[in-house]
Structure 1
């Protein structure tokens, strides 16, 4: 059996923090993907890969172990997502591997099982879940489907460097800092939820901006203040989001035709800020591309 699955990456999160003692984020999936192909054949005796990372290997091993499958497989990953930036690249690889390997050995997809295996490997983004969700990326205690959205154009910038997700979440001061920003995070959460429910993209942008600002005490983003100043005078800018544990800044734009003009103004005002890509925020969820 050969199966190919794709899972979207992210531009960080729309909101991230702690409410009532539970870690969570609101997903910000984008139209950029990781593609994983798993081939299972009774002649295979081991897991072979095309330079696949250890996390994907661990994912297929844990999946096979759960289903008591003792054969081998060939796995390949083709990803358009950058590492260490906050694009949920590892989540996309891991989850796509779990789904592809599950289907390749003839088993059924179980979202709860996928979540449990992924979380046993590392903190996990909810981008593989349908629509936009609030999700506990550390323990899976919270999963709330907030709804569906129309695509939102987004300009994605990178401040440089990399952030290791495991090290970030192991910081000794993280719990204290999240507690201090809980009120702002709660307000941001409510704004985004309302925006999704009534289809108001500007409310979504306002909530994302509030969460981004409150996260400056946790992981500071240079350029954010100047981008906010620009957003105040440019009606086409809906808001600003960040990778709360990464290096990305996203500019949510009202429509596609305004993207070039806003990009030009940002480049003029902040020439050192690296523009990675212009894409769109979409509804999350995995897709099975091939199964034979």
Structure 2
């Protein structure tokens, strides 16, 4: 068994698309260059999990992983340090990144092979799970924890401006809405079009198609979670050739502006911030390929 391990999992700026297609819930995550990092140390002289009190889901993920492999906490001591660059309740997949990083760290500490199917199973038993920990870009059923299709990878990271519409959203409560399935089905045509554009864009290395698909999915989601700032941003950037498209957190408060280069990043950010007063600038980062990293 290992004595210490560190696992990094990227967060997201929401999704490139999300919806129901042919009766299946799916999303394509928008992984970004910001992370949750879990460092886990095995302490043979102690027992139980030492972790900060507010990390309840992370602790539960560790307990479920230990239980899956039939390890008794009375005979195992774990010190867990959790560091995150992700905002909570905004749509950055902060819980998913924490949960998945802790599951993979636990598997590694125990000396068992990291099995992604088991990771997905444990994670989704706690809450709806983002696919940001899977390599590349993936079509993922976030409600059932199933990888539906490997779509490929972006050839180079894409600059991304992130803005926040304000407030927070509880993802569990959001997904429990009684009429959510009906609302998703009503926009199935747009979801399918968005999916096809993004899949084609990834396959062909055409980032503009990815941006078009993301924009379409963002607009279609207005009937589910309305963001008044979305229309305003689209108006501000509609003539800007550097902008590939707009993506959102479909169950969060974030709006992302995808760019084909950093050339006018500062200017575009200032244009949006100065013309839209009811939105907060968060940061600039990059759309990257998903995946986790283990540091031994």
Per the alignment, residue 59 of structure 1 pairs with 61
- Whether the 8 Å contact between 1:24 and 1:142 is mirrored in structure 2 is no
Deviation readout 1:67-98 (Å, 9 max, x if unpaired): 11112311110001010000000000000000
Q: Does 1:101 align with 2:106?
A: yes
The offset of 1:226, in angstroms, is 1.4
Displacement over 6 Å in runs of 4+: none
Aligned partner of residue 126 in structure 1, secondary structure: coil
Give the alignment partner of residue 256 of structure 2, picking from 232, 246, 250.
Answer: 250
Q: Which moved more, 1:279-288 or 1:268-277?
A: 268-277
Corresponding residue of 2:44: 42
For 1:257 and 1:9, how far apart are their aligned partners in 2?
Answer: 25
User: Does the residue aligned with 1:172 lie in a helix, a strand or coil?
Assistant: coil
Deviation at 1:142, TM superposition (A): 4.4
Gaps of 5+ in 2: none
Superposition deviation, residue 42 in structure 1: 2.2
Q: How many residues align?
A: 290
Residue of structure 1 in register with 2:227 after alignment: 221
Is contact 2:163-2:256 (8 Å) kept? yes
Is 1:140 aligned to 2:145, yes or no? yes
Instruction: Give the distance between the partners of 2:292 and 2:100, measured in 1 at CA.
Output: 9
Query: C-alpha separation between the residues in 1 aligned to 2:231 and 2:151?
Result: 29
Q: 2:180: which partner in 1? A: 174
Secondary structure class of the residue paired with 2:238: helix
Q: Which stretch has the larger CA shift, 111-120 or 261-270?
A: 261-270
* Equivalent in 124, 129, 134 of residue 124 of structure 1: 129
Aligned-partner SS, 2:161: strand
TM-score by length of 2: 0.96
TM-score by length of 1: 0.97
Structure 1 49/77 Cα, relative in aligned 2: closer, same or farther at 3 Å?
same
Q: Secondary structure at the match of 1:81?
A: coil
2:218 corresponds to: 212
CA contact 2:120–2:146 (8 Å) conserved in 1? no
Contact 1:52 1:77 in 2 (8 A): no
Structure-1 separation of matches of 2:294 and 2:233: 38
Q: State the shift of 1:50 in Å.
A: 3.0
Matches within 5 A, 1:185-204: 185-204=191-210
What CA RMSD, in Å, does the superposition of the two structures yield over aligned residues? 1.0
Task: Name the SS for the 1:233 alignment partner.
Answer: coil
Q: Deviations over 1:33-87 (max 9, x none)?
A: 0000111122221111134511001000011111111123111100010100000
* Aligned counterparts of 2:147 and 2:25: Cα–Cα separation in 1: 8
Aligned to 2:30: 28
**C-alpha distance in 2, partners of 1:93/1:247?**
19
1:156 paired residue number: 162
Compare 181-190 and 220-229 and name the one that shifted more.
220-229
1:7 paired residue among 6, 9, 17:
9
